Chain A
Amino acid sequence: MSKVRVLVGTKKGAFVLAADGERKKWSVDGPFFAGWEIYHMKGSPVNPERIYASQTSAWFGQMVQRSDDGGKSWDAVGNEFAYEGVAGTHQWYDGTPHPWEFKRVWHLEPSLTEAETVFAGIEDAALFKSTDGGGTWAEVAGLRKHGSGPAWQPGAGGMCLHTIILDPVNAGRMYVAISAAGSFRTDDGGQTWRPINRGLVSEFMPDPHAEVGHCVHHIAMHPSRPDRLFMQKHWDVMRSDDAGETWHEVSGNLPTDFGFVIDVHAHEPETIYVVPIKSDQEHFPLDGKLQVFRSRGGGHDWEALTNGLPQENCYVNVLRDAMAVDSLDECGVYFGTTGGQVFVSPDGGDHWQAIVENLPAVLSVEVQTIP
């Protein structure tokens, strides 16, 4: 029988949650790396027992941990992320030039085809690649140096490259998203990059339609429709049907279109999920009610999913990498909150239950479906 493994990164350690295909009884292992911030964990599609974790601390800097037994044991691998050449400057919050400085790894994305290859999205924003299982890292410098880099600026959480999407059909194509710069695409395996932000409108910018400067919070893609992208921007839920060449808003009837997460159903490429957050100042659900919203038509028309979720006095946030889906026959949807809850819906969002309720603040959730 298939099983699922949920990889949870929190402010104070990592947790591995596991269940069989029914997703009713869960085991909870952890905390791993207790006391450290675990920004992200992700398993290799090539070898599900290979899992990477980004372990970081204001005191001790960055570590990358690797497991080859499904998260039971871990070893520290390479933690040196050196920008290629002269790092240069980007914009600081006040628009003045600020030197590029490595701070932490926000996201780890293992290759879809090569067991030892993994990408890392870092703060200050850049993309790194390892071809030896995380032992050594080299910058994919074409991104940061394609021309718009000096105009990038940090969002409230820092200037982070937080989203990496590998095209499952076109091996040379990859998408990344940066706060607050926007989304970018390469079609040649990372040699050259360009911004893909046409259609994004950000009222906080002097030119709301500028080529870069947008605070993209997350992007999701269904692997069977690699040219169709869904984006949760700072404000606005957006959609592209041409690999990011153009975007249009699909916020529709959402009660607020601010939020961080967005994801796509495993078997229905037009079914998408968001968790609306009240505003950029008030990072919690509207009216204290935790609601996932689902659109079965790729946006515009949304329905609130509340069965099993707290509907009073709930003032948590759901951060950008804290939602995921499994690929069992009946798609499971998962998300974690800054209140330490991890929720699962084993039926595509209709019913929810808490797997755990009192973890440290959840930074990221990834799911592995294991045959």
Chain B
Amino acid sequence: MMVCVELPSGLAVLARTERRVDVVVEGVVTVRSVLDALERRLPVLRGTIREHGSLKRRPFLRFFVCGQDWSHRSVDEPLPPAVAAGREVFMVVGAIAGG
């Protein structure tokens, strides 16, 4: 499946890419498999969205899909079919935390 991921601008600059990145996801399209695919395509992002080791979402980042917050759902829950079909974007959003 080809899934479109939208990155925060800071990570797009870091990865030297556009903010929207297409990634090839193997198997069921979930938060985990999308991020695995993203990190395979752009290894520099390892540790920036998920912590190394634990693979926990970094606390100042959230995931939005189809207008819904998926930050606190299971990373193995299938994402809506529209994401897998490429009609909706998997968004990685930085918290508005000042600074």
Contact = CB atoms under 8 A, between A and B. Distances in A.
A76 interface: yes
Most buried by A among B46, B48, B60, B94: B48
B46 A60 contact: no
Contacts of A34: 13
Contacts of A57: 10
Nearest to A12: B99
A61 B53 contact: no
Contacts of B52: 79-82
A62 interface: yes
Given A36-B10, A76-B14, A82-B53, A60 B58 contact: yes
Contacts of B51: 61
Contacts of A204: none
B21 to A, nearest CB: 15
A60 B99 contact: no
Contacts of B14: 60, 63, 76
A60 B10 CA distance: 8
A79 B99 contact: no
B7 to A, nearest CB: 10
B60 A59 contact: yes
A306 B58 CA distance: 45
B97 A80 contact: no
Interface string B61-96: 100000000000000000000000000000000110
Nearest to B51: A61
Contacts of B99: 58
Contact of B47 (A35, A58, A59, A62): A62
Interface in A27-58: 34-36, 57-58
A276 to B, nearest CB: 29
B10 A58 contact: no
Nearest to A62: B47
Nearest to B58: A61
B11 interface: yes
B44 interface: yes
A61 B53 CA distance: 13
Given A58-B60, A59-B94, A79 B46 contact: yes
A82 B94 CA distance: 25
Nearest to B95: A59
A36 B10 CA distance: 8
Contacts of B61: 59-60
A61 B10 CA distance: 11
A58 B48 CA distance: 10
Contacts of A76: 14, 44
A337 B55 CA distance: 37
A76 B13 CA distance: 12
Interface string A60-99: 1111000000000000100111100000000000000000
Contacts of B44: 63, 76
Given A36-B10, A76-B14, A80-B52, A59 B46 contact: no
B53 A60 contact: no
B73 to A, nearest CB: 21
Interface string B1-19: 0000000101101100000
Contact of B8 (A58, A59, A63, A80): A59
Given A59-B60, A59-B95, A60-B58, A80 B47 contact: yes
A80 B77 CA distance: 27
A58 B94 CA distance: 10
B96 to A, nearest CB: 10
A81 B14 CA distance: 19
A35 B13 CA distance: 10
B53 to A, nearest CB: 6
15 contacts: A36-B10, A57-B10, A58-B60, A58-B99, A59-B8, A59-B10, A60-B8, A60-B11, A60-B48, A60-B61, A63-B44, A79-B46, A79-B48, A80-B47, A82-B53
A-B pairs, top 8 by smallest CB distance, nearest first, are: A60-B48, A59-B60, A80-B52, A76-B44, A59-B94, A79-B47, A61-B47, A61-B48
Interface of A: 34-36, 57-63, 76, 79-82
Given A59-B95, A61-B51, 7 more contacts: A36-B10, A59-B58, A59-B60, A61-B48, A79-B48, A80-B47, A82-B52
